[in-house]
Amino acid sequence: MLKTFRTSDRTLMVLFTIFVLAAPLIMAPLGAGYPDLMQRFAIYGIFAIGFNILFGLTGYLSFGHAAFLGVGSYSAVWMLKLLSINIVPAIIFAVVVSGLFALLIGFISLRRSGIYFSILTLAFAQMSYNLAYSVLTPITNGETGLQLDLTDPRILDTVNETSQVASPSFLGLEMGDTAVVQFLGMDLQFNVGFYISALILIGMFYLSLRIFRSPFGMILRAVKSNQTRLNYTGFNSRPYTLTAFVISGMYAGLAGALLVCMDPLAGADRMQWTASGEVVLMTIMGGAGTLIGPVLGAGIIKYFENIFSRINESVVEGWFSALPDGVTDFLTAVVSPFLGSGWHISLGLIFMLVVIFLPGGLVEGASRIMNLVRRLSQTRKTTSSPSVARPLGDDESPEEPPPGSVNTRES
């Protein structure tokens, strides 16, 4: 059993790496192959993976994870302003600060579980948002957002060009640098910022894989399945849940730091409760408690937000223009409310369908399809031995509660 686990993990890791690194090629036909969106895929993937370590493993539903994203962003911008335009100090500092912040919030919030925990984290996040929005304006620059400036001290950088604001870079490579390659009539955009985010995403995915497979991960699962029973056995679970909370907060801080490295502006909006809700949506849609699910969910939601929201009525009309006039008008009228500024509607519908029919998220859908295919191919071969092989990415064992379940017991 151990052996199959390892091989399937290795395949998963290899496939994931290939898929992420080839993203410019895969995304281009989908209209998503431009640096900004691909960077977002990778960064929000990291954010969701981190959230999943907490929610997927322990079942603790944090509704305030955007606070860590925001704290990471602000600390990273300050490092870019004060220390150096190199992204490394910014990222390290952001992860440390968000880790400490998570320690503080986790220490208080984890005294309760279930809905009380969710509300506590939500309250902390909204508090941080309001602090960033108005009270801490000197640090956060309020609604306008914190930006780099021509007059930033940047004490580690020796050469300060004074006519342009420097853009964040790594070893002299600016995050915005892009190589455009023509391929089958498409412009493939290979962007430095994306590849840096992608490499970090792969690293973070591997880390999360190891956490899932570690004894520590087992304890977290135990917390999810029955924390009360765990406590009755004389096991103090709180240090473990707190560690999971801090790790997950650091993931969020890392994502926040990367966001500002790609686009050096930190706004208070990214700490709002809608942003916290978004990462919950991502994780549940992809499949909470699965490895690949959160990344998938993050990709889908960001795709909707950035591509569907930009399909306006004239574009829809263009699709149906070959049809007769009346039909065009009718189809446009039917389809366009779900696109453009109505993208939330279609996202909501898809989310409802996923939650109702695939409680395990899209990963469950994928595994059902794979099972179906396998069963069909088996009946064709008329081999009757039942298969025990597990589909990729699905690491739920049957004894565990369904992946979407929330830790609702009050302890």
Partner 1 sequence: MSDYYLNRRKFLQGSAVLGAGLVAPTIFSRAASAYTNEPGKGSVVLGFNVPQSGPYADEGADELRAYKLAVKHLNGEGDGGMLGTFSSQTLKGTGILGRKVEYVTGDTQTKSDAARASARAMIEKDGAIMITGGSSSGVAVAVQSLCQDAGVIFMAGLTHSNDTTGKDKKANGFRHFFNAYMSAAALAPVLSQHYGNDRKAYHLTADYTWGWTMEESMIASTEALGWETVNTVRTPLSATDFSSYIAPVTNSGADVLVLNHYGSNMVNSLTNAVQFGLREKMVNGKQFEIVVPLYSRLMARGAGKNVKGIFGSTNWHWSLQDDASKAFVASYGKEYGQPPSQAAHTCYVQTLLYADAAERAGSFNPCAIGEALEGFEFDGLGNGKTLYRAADHQCFKDVLVVRGKENPTSEFDLLEVVNITPVEQVIYEPNHPMFAGGSLGKCNPGV
Q: Which residues contribute to the site for partner 1 (CB under 8 A)? A: 2, 5-6, 31, 34-37, 40, 130, 133-134, 142-145, 147, 150-151, 163-165, 167, 170-171, 173, 176-180, 189-192, 195-196, 199, 210, 213-215, 218, 263-265, 267, 269-270, 306, 309-310, 312, 340-341
Cβ closer to partner 1: 8 or 231?
Answer: 8
Minimal CA–CA distance to 289: which of 40, 120, 56, 50?
Answer: 56
Residue 378 CB, nearest approach to partner 1 (Å): 29
Least distance CB 195 / partner 1 (angstroms): 6
User: Cβ of residue 14: shortest distance to partner 1, in angstroms?
Assistant: 11
Residue pair 391/367 in contact (Cβ under 8 Å)? The answer is yes
User: Residue 37 and residue 263: Cα distance in Å, rounded?
Assistant: 12
- Residue 134: which of 257, 271, 252, 276 has the closest Cα? 271
- Of 266 and 354, nearer to partner 1 (C-beta) is 266
Supply the minimum distance, in Å, between the C-beta of residue 107 and partner 1.
26
- Residue 209 beta carbon to partner 1: minimum distance, rounded to whole angstroms: 11
Residue 102: CB minimum distance to partner 1, A = 22
Nearer to partner 1, 145 or 360 (CB): 145
Q: How many residues does the chain have?
A: 411
Contacts (Cβ under 8 Å, ≥6 apart) of 268: 70, 129, 132, 133, 140, 142, 143, 145
Question: 211 φ, ψ to 5°?
Answer: -65, -40
DSSP string, 263-313: S-EE-GGGGSHHHHHHHHHHHHHH-TT-SSHHHHHHHHHHHHHHTGGG--H
DSSP 305-367: HHTGGG--HHHHHHHTTTS-HHHHHHHHHHHGGGSGGGHHHHHHHHHHHHHHH-TTHHHHHHH
The one-letter code for the residue type at 272 is Q
Cα separation, 287 vs 355, in Å, equals: 10
Reading the block at residue 104, the tokens are 């503080």
Residue with Cβ nearer partner 1 (190 or 351): 190
- Considering the complex, state which of residue 264 and residue 289 has its C-beta at the smaller distance from partner 1: 264
- Is the CB of 277 or the CB of 340 nearer to partner 1? 340
Distance of CA 100 to the CA centre of its chain: 21
Q: Which is nearer to partner 1, 340 or 359 (CB)?
A: 340
Tell me the closest approach of the beta carbon of residue 262 to partner 1, in angstroms: 9
Pair 367, 325: CB distance under 8 Å:
no
Smallest gap from residue 361 Cβ to partner 1 (A)? 24
| Minimum CB distance to partner 1, residue 170 (Å) | 8
Buried b (16+ CB within 10 A) or exposed e, 34-69: bbebbbbbbbbbbbbbbbbbbbbbbbbbbbbbbbbb
Measured from the CB atom, the residue of 298 and 362 that comes closer to partner 1 is 298
Backbone angles phi, psi at 169, to 5 degrees: -145, 165
Element (H, E) at 119: helix 114-130
Give min distance, CB of 409 to partner 1, in A.
Answer: 26
Q: Identify which of residues 37 and 247 has a Cβ nearer to partner 1 in the complex.
A: 37
Residue recorded with tokens 């849940």: 241
Give the residue with the Cβ less far from partner 1, 110 or 266.
Answer: 266
